[in-house]
A and B are shown apart, each in its own frame.
Chain A
């Protein structure tokens, strides 16, 4: 969706008569990739479904305030990422529990998940990804699975391109070692 379409969409959204049409357009264009982005973070389909719905509700509620400095889909991605991280933090049993413990519980769910169709290696990869710090994992997902450019990832995560490249390289090395060991 190029910049001109974003402007038209925003204009349509501001008009009560065309608001629903604009929002349908936004859902149609973004729902799948937003869902998969979220799903790869939280792993469980039900959780991903809830977070995706919340994300689009937030989009609907706040699109009038969108300042247009980035593309709409970048903005939506940012909301989705923040909502996913907030969700994971809420999974902590208490304030001081490390996020890594949450990852262990997610690993267990992955093994029992009926909506996971991976072979042994793919399961191992997902488990290894759970061991990465959350932002590193998200950056890796966006680069490796979603084939996004560093510039886009940088806008979404608020991390510099240099830091992202370093993060991605470290993540790849960790994963390679882990998969080769096993």
Chain B
């Protein structure tokens, strides 16, 4: 085959100098992002766990009562019991440590 080895492709001027700088800059940015990302990932569970512990501590201090009369699996804190008018009930369901609110207005 005849010799066609000449490189017909070109690059912009100073391309390889810029390429090296670009690569180095991207690595610096990624390292900074990595550090921030790690901090963010650590922060999230810490905040979530703290909120959970706080929540438990707040509600743990309130005694719960079960209404055996008309409604099943319903728990009220001591404070709410005082406020409630059972004829026109607003029902609070506590499931584990999550709160679901169902409003039933009679």
Mark A residues whose CB is within 8 Å of B: 20, 23-24, 27-28, 31-32, 35-36, 39-40, 43, 45, 49, 52-53, 56-57, 60, 115-119, 121-123, 125-126, 144-145, 172, 175-176
Contact = CB atoms under 8 A, between A and B. Distances in A.
The 5 closest A-B pairs by CB, nearest first: A118-B8, A122-B8, A115-B10, A56-B23, A117-B10
Contacts of A39: 9
Interface residues of B, number: 20
14 contacts: A24-B20, A27-B24, A39-B9, A53-B19, A53-B22, A53-B26, A57-B30, A60-B27, A115-B11, A116-B9, A118-B8, A123-B8, A126-B8, A144-B5
B5 A35 contact: no
B81 to A, nearest CB: 59
A125 B10 contact: no
Given A20-B24, A57-B23, 19 more contacts: A24-B20, A31-B20, A31-B23, A32-B16, A40-B9, A43-B9, A45-B10, A45-B12, A53-B26, A115-B9, A116-B8, A116-B10, A117-B8, A117-B10, A122-B8, A126-B8, A144-B5, A172-B1, A176-B1
Nearest to A122: B8
B55 to A, nearest CB: 40
Interface of B: 1, 4-12, 15-16, 19-20, 22-24, 26-27, 30
A116 B11 CA distance: 9
A53 B12 CA distance: 16
Contacts of B4: 121-122, 125
